[in-house]
């Protein structure tokens, strides 16, 4: 049996002690503490419920379905030398343009001004072959892959180091590979 402090958690679904369901809030209405209702997509997955004694809990209504459009992570770049030491950035499927600017798919805004603002380097994840490639960008600065200058498209093995400048070196870590790809868990086509 739950204590008096937690018994509201265990109340039955049809209990009269249950209160207002906040999924009916419109986009400009507010709930407890003046919080504006979340977008419909989020309300499909969660629901805020206020119980009789003014406590609020968030209930999971249904699992969020896998959506291929969400750009799932396929790997990471981890800064191992230079500004941003210890930070990581996500790599997505397809073409990843890397640079300092926030407009790049993979932004490295850690203060190294010798990294090109846009298109310093490109990392490609091919979900058909389940492999990564590194491609030189259009900037004037060079990149070294495990000590070799990147002047053409090269395979990018996991745990490789990429020297982006004399200040900044990153290590590439693959999440997707020959053993796993997000397509393995995507729901079957209807």
Task: Return the DSSP state at 53.
Answer: T
Query: Which residue matches tokens 């030398």?
Result: 81
- Is the pLDDT at 56 greater than 70? The verdict is no
CATH number of 68-174: 2.60.200.20
CA distance from start to end of the chain:
45
Task: Kindly provide the b/e burial profile for residues 19-57, where b requires at least 16 CB atoms within 10 angstroms of the residue's own CB.
Answer: eeebbebeeeeebeeeeebbeeeebeeebbebbeeeeee
Category of 40 on φ-ψ map: left (φ > 0), alpha (ψ -120 to 50) or beta:
alpha
Strand partners, 170: 79, 162
- Is the pLDDT at 64 greater than 70? The verdict is no
Average pLDDT (75-86) is 97
The 10s digit of each residue's pLDDT in 27-48 is: 444 444 444 444 433 334 445 5
Please give the model's pTM, rounded to 2 decimal places.
0.64
Residue 80: other Cβ atoms inside 10 A? 14
Q: For the purposes of burial, counting CB atoms within 10 Å of the CB of 104, is it exposed (0-12), middle (13-18) or buried (19 or more)?
A: buried
Domain boundaries, the chain: 7-60, 68-174
- Is the pLDDT at 19 greater than 60? The verdict is no
Collapsing DSSP states into helix, strand and coil, what is residue 33?
Answer: helix
Strand partners, 136: 121
Residue 139 binned pLDDT confidence (cut-offs 50, 70, 90): confident
Residue 75 binned pLDDT confidence (cut-offs 50, 70, 90): very high
Euclidean distance between CA atoms 103 and 20, whole angstroms: 42
Report the mean per-residue pLDDT for the chain. 78
| pLDDT value at residue 188 | 61
| pLDDT value at residue 3 | 53
Q: How big is the CA angle at 52 (ends 22 and 12), to the nearest 5 degrees?
A: 85
């Amino acid at each position: 049996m739950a204590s008096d402090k937690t018994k509201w958690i265990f109340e039955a679904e049809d209990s009269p002690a249950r209160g207002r369901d906040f999924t009916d809030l419109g986009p400009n209405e507010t709930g407890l503490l003046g919080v504006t209702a979340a977008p419909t997509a989020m309300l499909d997955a969660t629901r805020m419920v206020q119980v009789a004694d003014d406590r609020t809990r968030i209930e999971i209504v249904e699992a969020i379905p896998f959506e291929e459009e969400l750009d799932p992570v396929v790997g990471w770049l981890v800064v191992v030398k230079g500004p941003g030491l210890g930070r990581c950035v996500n790599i997505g499927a397809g073409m990843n343009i890397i640079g300092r600017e926030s407009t790049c798919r993979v932004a490295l805004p850690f203060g190294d001004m010798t990294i090109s603002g846009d298109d310093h380097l490109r990392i490609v994840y091919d979900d058909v072959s389940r492999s990564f490639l590194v491609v030189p960008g259009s900037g004037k600065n060079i990149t070294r892959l495990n000590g070799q200058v990147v002047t053409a498209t090269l395979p990018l093995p996991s745990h490789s180091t990429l020297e982006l400048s004399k200040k900044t070196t990153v290590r590439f870590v693959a999440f997707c590979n020959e053993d796993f790809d997000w397509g393995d868990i995507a729901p079957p086509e209807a």
